[in-house]
Amino acid sequence: MAMPVSGVPTQTPAAQAPTGSGHHALARIGRAVRSNRKATVGTVLLLIFILIALFPGVIAHDSPTQDAYAPQLGISTAHLLGTNHYGQDLFSQLVYGTRNVLIIAFVVGLATTGIAVLIGVAAAYLGGGWDGTLNVLTDVLLVIPLFPLLIIIAAYAHGGTTLVLIAAITLTSWSYTARQLRAQALTLRNRDFLAAARVRGERQLYIIMVEVIPTMTSLIVASFLTNALYAVLFASSLQFIGLGDPNTVSWGTTLYWAENNAALQTGEPLWAIAPGACIAVLGAAFALLNYAFDEIGNPALRPVRNPRSKRA
């Protein structure tokens, strides 16, 4: 029994803005993105990267792998970031590498979050023996140190392809998110609207898919963004230490080659710095979107503009 409520619609700041369906939702998301500065910046950055990944040929005119130029050229209009030790155009490398990075980010993000939703919510909702078993599975993977495990997996796959990278990162990342989602699903389990759904005769699976999961979209989206961010960082790190396929064009592999050739010491600093900067910017884009999503979903977190500054 708690606080009484009455005839006032809850349009107060504490009201949660739910997601609707279709046109209505898109319009609201659009408005939310435009009004929140973090969301705008993050979205714009992400869109730029996506465009680059989709149409690399439009932006960079050279092939990234062709060592057609003189090595170690400085910045010029022909080579926006110069060339590396092998005479490859650095700018093209980064532009073409974007696709690999984004694919890893989105696929890992979606796969990790998908598995985590299935296992986490099922564990919470089914309870009992299922919960116990799934928990053991989750906890074991949670406790294993992530990076060493990644190294071992990647090493065993003989420095495998991007697919191996994606699989390895997904395998080692889903358990953290699963725990979070299970915790949130547990708090929802005894909410009256779920009891109401049970009492009116809905089936278990329907309740999980239609009634429970949509109320968790906030956390699910945040998980996706976080996992995408960490995928970028982990993948680049693995590629950097040589566990990716050194012949794929990606930011991490560029860093790998830069390190191999002691780029910083031999006067080619851009070779090392530029890919690092790209990773940082993409990471920042995901992080900004994460903050922004929090603020959009929970109005209490929004920054308050001082009203006195508005008065004459």
Partner 1 sequence: MPELPLLEVTGLSVDYVLDQGSVRAVDDVSFTVDRGEFLGIVGESGCGKSTLLFAVAQLLSPPAVVAGGSVLFQGTNLVGLTDDQLSAVRWRDMSVVMQSAMNALNPVTSIGAQFKDAMRAHGKYSAEEITARSAEVLRMVGIDPVHLRSYPHQLSGGMRQRSMIAMALLFTPDLVIMDEPTSALDVVAQRSLMVQIKELQQTFGFAVIFVTHDMSLISHFSDRLMVMYAGQVDELGVTRQIFDKPLHPYTQGLLEAFPSIHGPRVPLKGIPGNPPSLASPPSGCRFHPRCPSAFDRCPAVTPDLYAVGGTLVRCLLHENGSPSR
Partner 2 sequence: MTEPAENARHSPKAELLRTEHLTRHFKIGGALSRRTLHAVDDVNFAISEREIVALAGESGSGKSTIARVLARIYKPTSGEVYFEGKPLSGIRSRRDALRYSGLVPMVFQDPFASINPVFRIQHGVLRCLKLHRPELPAAQRPAEAARVFEVVGLDPSMLERFPYELSGGQRQRIGFAQALAMRPKLILADEPVSMLDVSIRIGLLNLMVKLRDEEGISILYITHDIASARYVADRLIVMYAGQIAETGPIEDVLTHPRHPYTQLLLSAVPDPRAPLSVAAETDRGEPPKVVDPAPGCRFRWRCPLAIDTCAQVTPELAELLPPAGGSGGGVPPGKHRHDVACHVAQTSAEEVKAFS
Shortest separation between residue 307's beta carbon and partner 1, angstroms: 5
Report if residue 312 touches partner 1, rule: CB under 8 A: no
Q: Which does 128 bind (CB under 5 to 8 A by kind): partner 1, partner 2, none?
A: none
Q: Which is nearer to partner 2, 259 or 295 (CB)?
A: 295
Shortest separation between residue 295's beta carbon and partner 1, angstroms: 11
Q: Which residues contact 158 (CB under 8 A, 6 or more apart)?
A: none
Q: Which is nearer to partner 1, 12 or 265 (CB)?
A: 12
Torsion of CA 52, 56, 248, 67, to 10 degrees: -130
Among 70, 143, 199, 304, binds partner 1 (CB under 8 A): 304
Shortest separation between residue 266's beta carbon and partner 2, angstroms: 57
Interface with partner 2 by CB under 8 A: which residues?
1-11, 15-20, 191-193, 195-202, 211, 214-215, 217
Shortest separation between residue 184's beta carbon and partner 1, angstroms: 19
What are the φ and ψ backbone dihedral angles of 89, each rounded to 5 degrees? -75, 120
Cα dihedral sign for 241, 244, 246, 248?
Answer: negative
Q: How far apart are CA 291 and CA 222, in angstroms?
A: 9
Q: Which does 129 bind (CB under 5 to 8 A by kind): partner 1, partner 2, none?
A: none
Q: How far apart are CA 206 and CA 211, in angstroms?
A: 7
Q: Which does 307 bind (CB under 5 to 8 A by kind): partner 1, partner 2, none?
A: partner 1
Distances from the Cα of 276 to the Cα of 13, 110, 266, 271, angstroms: 40, 24, 18, 9
Q: How far apart are CA 166 and CA 245, in angstroms?
A: 12
Among 61, 158, 191, 302, binds partner 1 (CB under 8 A): 302
Q: Which does 304 bind (CB under 5 to 8 A by kind): partner 2, partner 1, none?
A: partner 1
**Residue 69 CA to chain centroid, in angstroms?**
36
Q: How far apart are CA 69 and CA 187, in angstroms?
A: 61
Map residues 9-48 to x or -, x wherever contact with partner 1 holds by CB under 8 A: x-xxx---------------------x-------------
Distances from the Cα of 203 to the Cα of 125, 181, 208, 209, angstroms: 12, 21, 9, 10
Residues at the contact surface with partner 1, assessed by CB under 8 A: 1-9, 11-13, 35, 299-300, 302, 304-305, 307
